[in-house]
Amino acid sequence: MKTLRAKFALLLVVSIVAVVALITLAVIYVFTTPKEIEVDLLAKQFITMERLAKQSPNTGDLARAPAAGALDGDQTELLRAATERLGTRIDLLVTHRADDFRFRAVSLPVGPDRWIIVDIDPPSDPELLVWLALMSLGVGSVAVKAANRMSRPLALLESAVESVNADGTLPVLAEQGPAEVRATAAAINALSARLKQAIESRMRLVAAAGHDLRTPLTRMRLRAEFVSGDEERALWLRDIDELQRIAHSAIQLVHEETTKTPAETLRLDELVGNIVEELREQDYAIEMAETFPVSVRASHLTLSRALRNLFINAATHGVRGRVIVTCGETARITISDEGPGIAPEIADEVFEPFFRADRARSQNIPGAGLGLTISREIIRKAGGDITLANRPGGGLVQTVELPAVAAAMG
């Protein structure tokens, strides 16, 4: 009942059934014979039947005793009074049938040991309930179909939102079906196209800026070589190196967001082990603590780049890194370190471009502040995600989760 389609259907069913029920009750109230008239009509029939029976007292249809069952005193007195009011008092008896208490029988005396037995039908409430049940069933079927049609554009919106790609664009929707659905699909496709154009324009701007920075930075490096004083020259060259890293990282970020590399089935545990071994050979303080065999679908080149960034962060900013690969519902890489962690108030900002948790302590560590941004972009393109959390005993835990797949049989 949480979906809009179900709420539409319920609203239609309740509304229509309520209206029809009110109309039915109104018609019953208006056209139902008043109680007094109904009793008088019955009394007239009983008087006529009693007169006809007395004219043929020896007919075989007459009973020798009144109907068996519990006496209904109120109905008996009501009908006797009605016959008396019409001029012919009949000492009739109204009894409930022994086999079904809902049914009643009227016994009319027409002579010594001669009785006419007349059965009276039970109240018609069950018939009304059956009518309402059948009406509700029919109305419900129509309402479900109508609600499905009414909510189809909204269902299309929900489906489109759920299928947003990692780069923020939407798949092209088929513009077919009812007019409302076609209009909704066309609007979503137009929105997706505009978003894609805006993203590509932004990426081209960033790439162009990063590329154009290379030439003036090269000239600045040449001029810095002629600066007098070794200390001053070193400061100039360090700032120029940092600018070059920023320009290179910006171009790399654009490349990751705009380039689609083919995915392949990879043994994640082997890939992680190879990267850790390479970094250890480069004197990074990182180790492989535990591993389990698990496969994923991703680009070997880009996923390696993303994991290398994360491992280097743990080995530099976190002093020492420890990597674990586990497999459950997803393939999980847990990277823990022994660093200072991240302040809770800036936890949501760490994936922002050029962000540094502590600029003063990180100024001697190479990097442009785009490593986490690029890594998350790559991991999300592979259908996974990355989260950061502080360890209870100190340090930071980076958790990467990717969809696990069955390893390809060779």
Q: Is the pLDDT of residue 178 over 60?
A: yes
Mean local confidence (pLDDT), 18-29:
71
The token pair at 161 is 């939102």
Q: Cα-flanking dihedrals φ and ψ of residue 121, to 5°? A: -65, 150
Q: Is the pLDDT of residue 353 over 90?
A: no
List, in sequence order, every residue forming a beta bridge with 290; answer none if it has no partner.
324
Q: Is the pLDDT of residue 32 over 70?
A: no
| Measured distance CA(222)–CA(236) in Å, rounded | 11
- Point out the least confidently predicted range of 66-70, 156-160, 313-317, 340-344: 156-160
| Measured distance CA(352)–CA(36) in Å, rounded | 86
- Point out the least confidently predicted range of 195-199, 205-209, 216-220, 323-327: 205-209
Q: Is the pLDDT of residue 270 over 90?
A: yes
Greatest mean pLDDT among 53-62, 180-189, 198-207, 392-401 lies in 392-401
- Note the pLDDT of residue 249: 65
pLDDT band for position 402 (50/70/90)? very high
Q: What does the longest C-alpha to C-alpha distance in the chain come to?
A: 146
The token pair at 53 is 């029976």
Whole-prediction pTM: 0.48
| CB 397 within 8 Å of CB 328 | no
Higher pLDDT, 246 or 41: 41
pLDDT band for position 48 (50/70/90)? confident
- Note the pLDDT of residue 399: 93
pLDDT band for position 359 (50/70/90)? very low
Q: Is the pLDDT of residue 126 over 70?
A: no
Mean local confidence (pLDDT), 177-181:
72
Reported as a single tens digit per residue, the pLDDT across 308-331 is: 989 998 898 888 899 999 988 899
Greatest mean pLDDT among 50-54, 248-252, 295-299 lies in 295-299
- Residue listed under structure tokens 């986490």: 372
pLDDT band for position 43 (50/70/90)? confident
Q: Is the pLDDT of residue 99 over 90?
A: no
Torsion of CA 12, 13, 15, 20, to 10 degrees: 130
Higher pLDDT, 374 or 291: 291
- Note the pLDDT of residue 101: 67
Sheet holding 396-402, edge to edge: 286-290, 321-327, 331-337, 396-402, 385-390
- Note the pLDDT of residue 363: 45
Strands 321-327 and 286-290: parallel
Higher pLDDT, 391 or 181: 391
E runs forming strands in 97-151: 104-111, 114-120
Mean local confidence (pLDDT), 354-367:
50
- Note the pLDDT of residue 275: 93
- Note the pLDDT of residue 409: 42
Reported as a single tens digit per residue, the pLDDT across 235-247 is: 888 777 777 777 7
Angle at 8 between CA 7 and CA 10, to 5 degrees: 65
